Every structure is written in structure tokens, then in C-alpha cells.
Amino acid sequence: MKTKDILFVIIVLIFTSCTNKQNSLTENNKTSSYFDYSTSDDQLTGGIKMIPITTPKGTFNVWTKRVGNNPKMRVLLLHGGPGGTHEAFEAFDGYLPNEEIEYIYYDQLDSYYSDKPNDSTLWTTERFVEEVEQVRKALNLTKDNFYLLGHSWGGILAMEYALKYQDNLKGLIISNMMMSAPEYGKYATEVLGPKLKPEILKEIKDLEAKNDFNNPRYSELLMNHYYTEHILRMPLEKWPEPINRMFRHLNPSIYVYMQGHSEFGMTGNATLKNWDVTGQLKNIKTPTLVIAGTHDTMDPKHMEWVSKELQNGQLLLCPNGSHCAFYDDPKTYFTGLIKFIKEVNDGSFK
């Protein structure tokens, strides 16, 4: 074959290859509208909406941000605290988009980007439930696509919402939260506390007895000896940036009012300290995933019991996970979460 002919064949092959690749890219873009915001009213803001919420003390705005576009699978994220922020969930960015599952960040009233009326009469589970319901309506979430995921305090809020409005839900995820505050306190006191070195536990308890919660030593003891074992199992210097950012932006007023100062259960005048819905779990028929961590502040055996009490519950145990299992056992956490959402969506969940 002549040199000119050989060059011609090579050019044709290269052109054909490039054309095929371009066609493939075009076809892929046509088959997915996950990142297409062009027909949405939140395109200009990149998915962000400030939603007006009516309360007994007036109307305030709460911040939400939608990631992705999937009308069949839409997950509203309820952050912990109370008074935490959506930032703790930023690990989800590394997992859910690849599965084309839409999810929505949301700062509850008095948290971070949302309005802060700083009125303790609004800090009740009943009012927060109504806030979630107003957010649901504003975002057009329906029983055909609405998954509600609550982590920690968000798990309390998610369950309270389900107890009143489960007919609006397609799926429910309770992440790292027991369904009884007294049982949580008992587990922290009787099981987790004794795992600390006796001298460390004594110093913590002495500071609590003096109500010396603002003492820097108290935070130092908890962060270095308790949090790194049961909140997020990494050395503090390796904690993910979104978690550190969330702690910087946490609203301590609402946290202390509802949760209390102590990390060994809800104590003092904390409004949630007697919260217990264990007797109502049998009323929940919505497909529910209960996520627990072996090293969590929440008793994994209790979480297993919760999954069995529900009419349609399933347990996901993260063997390497603690309270923030989506950071210290992400493979287990997200594999199980994605599987649950997709099985509920296609009707194969059992």
C-alpha cells in the first residue's frame, strides 16, 4: 500500500473514532437530565430556595438547596443538633449524584443560613414538624417521590413527622438516633461512660456536677476521649472539614435548650430529655431504614429493636461507624442507603 493511502486510512480511522466518541457523549447527555436545571425556577440560584415558614410568632424564611434533578427519588435531609447545620451532610456529594438521586440540603429555623428569630417558644418538636411539612409543600415533594432522612436530632424530627404525616412519605430513614431519650441517657451512662479511663470519666463528671460546662477543659476532655470514639472515629486533626465547619456554625442556644449541656444523655432542663416514642413505632407503615453504628452514642441493639418494631423496617449496621457513620464508615452507609432508596423506588424493598 502506498504511503498516501496509509495516511488516508489512518485519518479516516481517527475521524471515525472521534465521531463515535462525540456521538456517545451526546447520547449520554440526552439520557440524563440529573444536572439539568434549565426548566426549574431555582436555576439562577443553583438550586437554592428561601422558603417562607408560618409560625405562631410570624413568618420566617428557611434555606434549602437542591442537588440534582430526579422526580422519582428526592431526599430531604434533616440535620442534627438541634441547632446543627446542613454542612454535616456534605459527604453526600461524593455518593448520591453518581446514582442520580436528588437530595435537598435544609437549615432548620434558627440554624445557619435560615432566619434566627431566637425565640425559644418556637423550639418544640411539634412546631418543627409543621415547618418540615411547609418545606415539603413548597418543594412539591409527594408520596410518590419523598424520602425523609433525619440524622441524630433530625432522626427525632423525622420520626415525629412520620407519626403525623407518613401518608406523604415514600420512604423514611432514621440515621443514628434512638427512639427514647431516657434509654439514650441510660446507654451513655451505663455503657459508654465506663469505657473511658476512670480518671477521665471522674473529671468529666466533676465538671458536670459543678455545671462548669463552659470550662475549656470540659470540651477538651469530651473531644479527645469521647467524641473521637463515639461521634466520629478519627483523630481530631483528621476530622472532615464540613464537620468542623458545622461545629463552628452550630447554634448553642437551641442546642442547650433542647438537648442540654451534657453528652451523656439529655439532662437538666433539656426539653427533649423525656422524649420517647417507642410505644408508637408499630404505627409506622412507611418503608423505613434504621441506620446504626457499632461505636455510636446510640445503642445499636436498641436500633435493631426499632427496625423490628416498625411495620416495614430494616436495619443497616455500620460496623466501623460511630454517630457520623457517613464519614467513618461511608462505604457501608452509602451502599446501604442507596440500595434502600432504589429498592423502595422500584418496589422490590422487603
Which one of the listed residues 110, 295, 323, 329 is annotated catalytic?
Answer: 323
Phi-psi region of 197 (alpha: psi -120 to 50; beta: other; left: phi over 0): beta
42 is catalytic: no
- 152, 175, 180, 307: the active-site residue: 152
* Euclidean distance between CA atoms 305 and 132, whole angstroms: 27
- DSSP three-state, residue 46: coil
Q: Is 200 exposed, middle or buried (0-12, 13-18, 19+ CB in 10 A)?
A: middle
Contact 160, 129 (CB under 8 A): yes
- CA 36 to chain centroid: 24
- C-alpha–C-alpha distance, residues 269 and 324, integer Å: 26
| Phi, psi values for residue 106, rounded to 5° | -160, 120
Indicate the burial class of 251 (C-beta count within 10 angstroms; 0-12, 13-18, 19 or more): buried
Catalytic option among 107, 110, 115, 296: 296
Residue 296 bears catalytic tag: yes
Decide if 152 is catalytic.
Answer: yes
- Cα separation, 75 vs 141, whole angstroms: 9
Active site amino acids:
152, 296, 323
